[in-house]
């Protein structure tokens, strides 16, 4: 029996007894297979056995974007492949991805990607390499899949799992903790012969000179520029400025939306990040945490006068007594053992955040990845932590299957 004020809602309920999400999944598969055909909301709603208005609302709630936005992504991503991998004319590509008007397709492509189809085709065939793992997320934001990059299943797990089959040559990580030699990467790049190489100024001058002999290079300052400035510098080098500005604009919009949602849940509560390393606690901050949680990001409340990245005793933490704690436990054995023992400590168990079940475990991935993709993923994770909901549209919507090979 429906209550009187439920009559409006009932008009949008499924017209059959089947689960609307089940039918919605089938419609999504149908869109994947028939993106090149004329598809309307009315037709898709009929296939889902629900009203058009309910279909629109349910699709966006379920997948984080509207059905038409999802259809556009399918078409544009397929068009990218045609532009990179075939010699089809623009009109033929437009027809193959569901657009009858090549001029409308061209305008739509530029709006979505940031460059015209012809410019995309020209740049997409450039073979870009990076010898710095922190640059991978910048290149992906520019719709560039590097032909070579240092990825590793342990230290760069996200990029390894998501893109190991697309990155043709896996270089070796050369950060100090891996004790690997950079010369091996130089030798591989000589054989790969990329059109351009992007890295950071952490690469020594002698190694930079070796790389410059292989291809034109761009080395961005790792610690003296924020991710936006780094992205713009790389974009200027690769002639992808519009894509950089498009990414930054989307990120800023998502930050503003996320900030409103998070602050409704968190309010004026104090939020800190604690790192467990060895047998010590640290009130931890890095550029990504500063960017996303505080400053220009979610603007959460914290303790601005407390020194960070120095050892913090359990008694000092108890004196702060924050409302929420994000805990990052280093993966080696000593840190894990200390974290387990810490949870049995009476002082720890009396913390307000512990008693109110506001302890959230985070990991180095993505919270060490200070890149355009990294901060977008941090924002998604923070939204999930603080609100319990995140559409996670980044992987399906922004990058798609673009690559520069």
pLDDT at 35: 94
Co-location of 282 and 373 in the same domain:
yes
Looking up residue 83, the CATH number of its domain turns out to be 1.10.10.60
Among 346, 114, 85, which Cα is nearest to 231's?
Answer: 114
- Spans of the chain below 70 pLDDT: 1-22, 124, 175-181, 391-405
Residue 389: the pLDDT is 79
DSSP per-residue string spanning 50-62: S-HHHHHHHHHHH
CA distance 125 to 85: 9
140 and 217 inside one domain = yes
Q: Are residues 95 and 151 in the same domain?
A: no
Tens digit of pLDDT for each residue in 3-19?
Answer: 333 333 334 444 444 55
Same domain, 220 and 268: no
Question: Domain range holding 55?
Answer: 24-114
Same domain, 193 and 253: no
* Backbone φ, ψ for residue 169 (5° rounding): -120, 120
- The verdict on 298 and 374 lying in the same domain is yes
Burial class (CB in 10 A: 0-12, 13-18, 19+), 10: exposed
Same domain membership, residue 253 and residue 234: no
Number of structural domains the chain divides into: 3
Interval 360-380: pLDDT, tens: 999 999 999 999 999 999 999
Instruction: Let me know whether 308 and 230 are in one domain.
Output: no
Alpha helix (H) ranges present in 86-195? 90-96, 102-113, 117-124, 136-141, 157-163, 183-192
Predicted local distance difference test score (pLDDT) of residue 23: 78
Note whether residue 133 is domain-resident: yes
Last residue in a domain, options 208, 239, 270: 239
pLDDT of residue 115: 83
DSSP-derived secondary structure letter, 399: I
Q: Are residues 253 and 381 in the same domain?
A: yes
pLDDT of residue 394: 52
**Shared-domain flag, residues 166 and 194:** yes
pTM of the model: 0.71
- 366 and 223 in contact (C-beta within 8 Å)? no
Q: Judge whether 182 and 174 are in contact, CB under 8 Å.
A: yes
Structure confidence at residue 304 (pLDDT)? 86
């Amino acid at each position: 029996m429906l209550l009187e004020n439920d009559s409006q809602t009932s008009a949008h309920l499924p017209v059959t007894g089947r689960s609307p999400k089940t039918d919605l999944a089938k419609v999504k598969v149908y869109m994947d297979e028939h993106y090149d055909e004329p598809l309307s909301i009315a037709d898709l709603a009929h296939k889902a056995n629900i009203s058009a208005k309910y279909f629109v609302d349910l699709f966006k709630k379920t997948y984080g974007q509207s059905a038409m936005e999802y259809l556009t992504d399918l078409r544009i991503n397929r068009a990218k492949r045609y532009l990179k991998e075939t010699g089809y004319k623009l009109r033929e590509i437009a027809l193959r991805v569901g657009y009858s008007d090549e001029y409308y397709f061209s305008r739509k492509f530029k709006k979505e990607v940031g460059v015209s189809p012809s410019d995309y085709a020209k740049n997409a065939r450039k073979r870009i390499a990076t010898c710095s793992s922190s640059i991978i997320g910048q290149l992906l934001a520019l719709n560039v899949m590097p032909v070579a990059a240092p990825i590793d299943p342990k230290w760069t797990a996200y990029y390894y799992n998501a893109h190991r089959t697309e990155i043709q040559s896996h270089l070796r990580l050369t950060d100090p903790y891996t004790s690997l030699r950079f010369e091996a990467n130089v030798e591989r790049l000589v054989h790969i012969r990329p059109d351009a190489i992007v890295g950071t100024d952490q690469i020594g001058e002698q190694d930079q000179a070796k790389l410059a002999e292989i291809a034109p290079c761009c080395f961005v300052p790792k610690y003296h520029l924020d991710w936006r400035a780094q992205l713009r510098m790389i974009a200027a080098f690769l002639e992808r400025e519009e894509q950089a500005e498009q990414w930054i604009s989307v990120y800023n919009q998502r930050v503003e939306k996320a900030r409103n949602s998070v602050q409704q849940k968190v309010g004026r509560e104090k939020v800190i990040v604690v790192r467990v390393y060895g047998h010590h606690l640290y009130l931890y901050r890095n550029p990504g945490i500063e960017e996303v949680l505080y400053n220009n990001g979610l603007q959460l409340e914290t303790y601005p006068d407390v020194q960070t990245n120095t050892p913090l005793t359990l008694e000092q933490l108890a004196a702060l007594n924050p409302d929420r704690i994000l805990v990052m436990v280093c993966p080696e054995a000593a840190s894990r053992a200390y974290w387990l023992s810490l949870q049995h400590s009476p002082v720890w168990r009396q913390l307000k955040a512990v008693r109110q079940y506001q302890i959230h475990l985070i990991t180095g991935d993505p919270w060490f990845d200070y890149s355009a993709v990294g901060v977008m993923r941090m924002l998604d994770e923070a939204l999930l932590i603080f609100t319990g909901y995140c559409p996670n549209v980044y992987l399906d919507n922004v990058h798609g299957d673009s690559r520069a090979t």
